[in-house]
């Protein structure tokens, strides 16, 4: 009995990362330096087979687990659309140009059930980090996590829709950093960080990866009241919001992207402002409910 209790206590000390939307596993080498256990979830079997070959050693020593499923609002099966042109654009959302996609049927699981599975299997309570990049299904994942009171120490998600922002602003997350997708591999490329052994390690992030998280992102945090300002000034799309539950020292500046505003009033009228109008309406509705 004492041995089981000791095992449970030791497991609690381990860090675990969930990589939701692993693609080719571009970030796995980094994650495996940051946590004792990494769980990668990817619906595309071709990509998971590549990951298995590349990270065979980590799979064999139980530091990497692979789930070849899609993340959705149900446990069951789903149609999944594999892009014939870009592995980064495969999606659960039925595309308009279906001739450019191959439709397959894949098992589906809710994010909360995947996490419960590994919490029970590995006896781990706390989650170090969850990365979400699932081509338009980010709000479904966030909604499921938050409804089940799953709040990792760090979380990052792509922001294609204002629903994602609304969910984040109604969560316990207090401090935020922002990453542009096209920064990774260019402005944010060679990074030094502390690994599990507290050793200084260098990594070279490639294009298409999600980049670093938390303190490894080489910029200051912003407070919650800067989130809407950031996306109003920079637009939605291939952008990640990186969140932590901790209160940090905040940057008071607003990041301004001239290119967004150079698109003109019509762009804001049709693309950006309607999304934020929906979000603000939802925020007001949530306040009224409380």
**Which DSSP state fits 197?**
T
- Nearest Cα to Cα of residue 208 among 193, 186, 190: 186
pLDDT at 169: 94
pLDDT at 275: 61
Grouping H, G, I as helix, E, B as strand and the rest as coil, residue 235 is: coil
The Cα 153–Cα 214 span in angstroms is 9
In the chain, domain spans: 161-290
pLDDT at 89: 73
Q: Is 288 exposed, middle or buried (0-12, 13-18, 19+ CB in 10 A)?
A: exposed
pLDDT at 12: 58
Q: Residue 100 region, left (φ>0) first, then alpha (ψ -120 to 50), else beta?
A: alpha
List alpha helices for 137-267, DSSP H.
138-147, 162-169, 227-234, 258-262, 265-267
The residue assigned the tokens 């069951």 is: 76
pLDDT at 78: 87
Q: Give, to the nearest 10 degrees, the angle between helix 227-234 and helix 273-289.
A: 160
pLDDT at 265: 46
Q: Say how far residue 239 (Cα) sits from the centre of its chain.
A: 11
The pLDDT tens digits along the chain (290 residues) read: 455 555 555 555 789 999 999 999 999 999 999 999 999 999 999 999 999 999 999 999 999 999 999 999 999 998 888 887 776 677 877 877 878 888 888 999 999 999 999 999 998 888 999 999 987 889 999 999 999 999 999 999 999 888 999 999 999 999 999 999 889 989 899 999 999 999 999 999 998 889 999 999 999 999 998 998 888 888 888 899 999 999 998 887 765 555 555 555 455 555 555 665 666 666 566 666 65
The Cα 28–Cα 47 span in angstroms is 13
The Cα 246–Cα 6 span in angstroms is 29
If you compute the radius of gyration of the chain from its CA atoms, what whole number of angstroms results?
Answer: 19
Instruction: Output b/e per residue, 157-179; b: 16+ Cβ within 10 A.
Output: bbbbbbbbbbbbbebebebbbbb
Q: Quick count: other Cβ atoms within 10 Å of Cβ 85?
A: 9
pLDDT at 109: 96
């Amino acid at each position: 009995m004492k041995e089981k209790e000791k095992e449970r206590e030791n497991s609690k000390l381990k860090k675990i990362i969930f990589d939701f939307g692993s693609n080719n596993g571009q970030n796995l080498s980094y994650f495996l330096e940051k946590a004792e256990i990494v769980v990668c979830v990817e619906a595309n079997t071709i990509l998971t087979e590549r990951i298995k070959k590349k990270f065979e050693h980590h799979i064999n020593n139980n530091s990497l687990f692979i789930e070849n499923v899609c993340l959705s609002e149900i446990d069951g099966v789903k149609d999944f659309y594999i892009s014939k042109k870009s592995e980064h654009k495969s999606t659960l959302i039925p595309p308009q140009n279906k001739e450019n996609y191959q439709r397959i049927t894949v098992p589906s699981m809710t994010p909360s059930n995947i996490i419960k599975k590994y919490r029970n299997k590995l006896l781990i309570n706390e989650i170090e980090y969850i990365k979400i990049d699932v081509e338009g299904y980010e709000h479904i994942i966030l909604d499921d996590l938050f409804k089940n009171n799953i709040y990792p120490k760090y979380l990052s998600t792509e922001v294609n829709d204002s629903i994602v922002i609304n969910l984040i602003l109604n969560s316990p997350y207090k401090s935020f950093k922002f990453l542009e997708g096209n920064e990774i591999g260019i402005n944010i490329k060679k990074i030094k960080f502390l690994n599990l052994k507290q050793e200084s390690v260098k990594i070279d992030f490639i294009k298409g990866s999600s980049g670093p998280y938390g303190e490894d992102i080489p910029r200051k945090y912003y407070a919650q009241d800067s989130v809407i300002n950031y996306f109003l000034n920079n637009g939605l799309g291939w952008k990640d919001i990186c969140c932590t539950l901790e209160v940090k020292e905040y940057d008071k500046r607003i990041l301004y992207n001239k290119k967004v505003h150079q698109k003109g009033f019509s762009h804001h009228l049709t693309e950006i402002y309607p999304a934020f109008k929906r979000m603000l309406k939802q925020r007001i509705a949530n306040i009224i409910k409380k």
